[in-house]
Structure 1
Amino acid sequence: MLTPQGLKGKQFRITGTSYPRLGPPPRRGRRWLMLIGSLLALSLIALGGVQLVDIFTGRAKHSAAQACASARASGKPLAAPVAATSTAASPSGSPAAGSAAPGSPGSPAASGAPAAVSSTPLPAVTTAPQPQTVTVNVLNATGKAGLAAKTADELKQRGFTVGKVGNAPSALEGHVPGAAELVAGQTGAGAAALLGAQVTGATTMADARTDGSVDFVIGDGYSALLDPNAAATALAAALKPAPSASPLPGSC
């Protein structure tokens, strides 16, 4: 190997098969970033492990149950109450109309004036009385003559006890757009459900009467009663309780 002049060849001669490699000097900032990243990764792994332990050991469910128990013990509601709305007792489930309805014997509207409709809806029922125990007043709010008497005869053949039969008060004439409007007190909710199953598209209203009678007000949309088999099917559907929604995870 040739050596430049002025240098001692033997002292600076390179021997062997390895050669020195030149690289960038180490940087402290890069080391700190790697250290911080490692610590963050370890923290995330530890947090995930704790959550998995809670899931498999059931600690989360136990904490939610304790929170629900504390809320019940304090007597404070977990959510704001929802205002009740009136619904029909008929199989169609149409909302009750807002017009007034005539009463029956023993009700404030026995004289023929429209009864005051209560803001409280009729309670939901899961059973219905026998037709023989239900007194129904059939009132015609349409311009078709003889419709109340014909409907009353059909209801009587089905076992209902017929009370008053005639025309509806003038305030209701032409103001019942549906098939029928059923008016009952709080004690007549089951009877209203039974009568609502006899016709399609009936709405239900509550008034201040204290007996179990029901006013069957015939509307402009009325054509005929359902046949007995269809009425029985509609009644079974109306009395079937609605399924309750499953609580969401973490809710009481």
Structure 2
Amino acid sequence: MGGKYRITGDKYPRMRPHRRRGRLAVVTVACAAALGVAGWGTLQLIDVFTGGGGTASAAGTKADCDTKASPSAGTTPAAAAVPEPGRITVNVFNATPRSGLAKKTADELKKRGFRIGDVGNAGKQYDKKVDGTGVLLGPASSLNSSLPVLATQLAGAERRTDAARKGDTVDLIIGTGFKELTKQADADKSLAALAAPKPTPSAGKKSC
């Protein structure tokens, strides 16, 4: 080449492209960021399908948690429906050959707070036909209210209801197996347990 530009000497300049260090750095950072986002997304999907961290058993995460029932405050409907003895009227009938049992039993029930209705001998349907300690008879509405309360006073008595019967009065029919009413101390304990609020299980509380 002549003119202004001449090449002198026996060495020629190397023809090579400019270094691209800056571009390589940008590409490296971008790849690292993409991998990080993909990894984070994968972890989120794993948490969604496995229910969070921790090691799950073969039965699943629900099997790894213990369910505990916590008692809720308040009373059960059955406990709330139990009436006090003073709100129960009892007819006392004697179905045995022994005289005086109806009046004696009625007097004792009165001392314990019950209202007393009719007192006398049992009708033909029950007279000398009750082998146990007695029969407690009332309308269908008394099955889970008045009859359980009266039953605390005479252990072993049979409970019966009459769907055709009206009102809320109940009968205590003394049977041939009758000796005496339940001891008042024991009857009071049974009555207190019957009327006490009973805890009911609420929604289970899970702990892992």
TM-score category (smaller protein): 0.5 to 0.7
Contact 2:137 2:161 in 1 (8 A): yes
Contact 1:179 1:221 in 2 (8 A): yes
- Structure 2, unmatched stretches of 5+, are 1-55, 64-76, 201-208
State how far apart, in whole Å, the 1-side matches of 2:128 and 2:184 are. 28
Q: What residue identity is the alignment partner of 1:184?
A: G
Contact 1:187 1:211 in 2 (8 A): no
Instruction: Name the structure where strand makes up a greater proportion of residues.
Output: 2
**1:58 shift after superposition:** 4.4
**1:238 shift after superposition:** 4.8
**1:194 shift after superposition:** 1.0
**1:234 shift after superposition:** 2.1
Alpha-carbon distance change, 239 to 186 in structure 1, aligned in 2, over 3 angstroms: farther
Is structure 2 residue 100 aligned with structure 1 residue 146? yes
Alpha-carbon distance change, 229 to 207 in structure 1, aligned in 2, over 3 angstroms: same
Which residue number in structure 2 is paired with residue 217 of structure 1?
173
Deviations 1:15-46 (A, max 9, x none): xxxxxxxxxxxxxxxxxxxxxxxxxxxxxxxx
Correspondences of 1:1-252 after superposition (within 5 Å): 54-58=58-62, 125-127=78-80, 128-189=82-143, 190-208=145-163, 209-238=165-194
Q: CA RMSD in A?
A: 3.0
Q: Secondary structure at the match of 2:119?
A: strand
**1:129 shift after superposition:** 1.2
Paired residue total = 132
**1:235 shift after superposition:** 2.5
Q: What residue identity is the alignment partner of 1:125?
A: A
Q: What residue identity is the alignment partner of 2:150?
A: L
State how far apart, in whole Å, the 2-side matches of 1:243 and 1:181 are. 31
Contact 1:126 1:240 in 2 (8 A): yes
Question: Which of these two proteins has the greater Rg computed from alpha carbons?
Answer: 2
Q: TM-score, normalised by structure 1?
A: 0.46
**1:241 shift after superposition:** 9.1
Contact 1:188 1:211 in 2 (8 A): no
Q: What residue identity is the alignment partner of 2:106?
A: A
**1:213 shift after superposition:** 1.0
- Structure 1, unmatched stretches of 5+, are 1-51, 60-123, 245-252
